[in-house]
Structure 1
Amino acid sequence: MGEGNQSDPGAAPEGRRLWQVKLAVVATPGEHEELLDRLTDVLCPDPNHEGPCDIPWAMHSVSEDSLSKKERRALVDEIEDTNPS
């Protein structure tokens, strides 16, 4: 990501901030893969470009098996609040 704040080696370069965007979905494995592909296309529309991406990014995905029962319940509740029946 280049030179960050020298007093904070994990800091983003001047003029930029580090953001974490979280998204919870209920999907089949195929839908999950398609979603990751589509998000990748949004973040990096030209995978063959030279040099680093204009907006540096990283993506991580975890399944419900990696979450505690409490974390799973909180995410399902949040999804249900966002998508009422």
Structure 2
Amino acid sequence: MAPTNPVNGKGTYEIRIGLWASLEQAQAVQERLMAVLCPEPEHAGPCEVPWSISLAPPDAVDEAGSGYEELVVQAKIEGSY
């Protein structure tokens, strides 16, 4: 667990989004999220709220224990699994 700054109460939070998608689709979603987090990527200096973003490949995600069980079931129902 990341530490919380006792002076201002700020700390690191992680938001995870599970997608059943091709690599190209996942990258397109990543680009759209980056545009939301930093709508002016050419600005001077760091963003007001520091952030980072990454993609984890399917083989790095444990589908059985990740909380994505419903996503996998939905993909199977829709025939895209």
Kindly tell me: are residues 52 and 68 of structure 1, through their superposed partners in 2, closer, same or farther at Cα, counting changes over 3 Å? same
Which of 59, 76, 80 is residue 69 of structure 2 equivalent to?
A: 76
Alignment of 1:17-32 (within 5 A): 17-32=11-26
Instruction: Tell whether the 8 Å contact from 2:3 to 2:12 is kept in structure 1 after alignment.
Output: no
TM-score by length of 2: 0.69
Moved runs in structure 1, 4+ residues, more than 3 A? 9-13
Count of residue pairs brought into register by the alignment: 73
Match of 2:32 among 15, 35, 38: 38
* Runs of 5+ consecutive residues of structure 2 not aligned to the other structure: none
| Identical amino acids, percent of aligned pairs | 22
Q: Deviation string for 1:51-75 (max 9, x for gaps)?
A: 1101110112212201235236x41
Higher RCO (C-alpha under 8 Å, 6+ residues apart):
2
Matches within 5 A, 1:40-79: 40-71=34-65, 74-77=67-70, 79=71
Q: Taking structure 1 as the reference length, what is the TM-score of the superposition?
A: 0.66
Segments of structure 1 that go 5 or more residues without pairing to the other structure are: 1-8
The change in CA–CA distance for 1:67 and 1:37 in structure 2 (over 3 A counts) is same
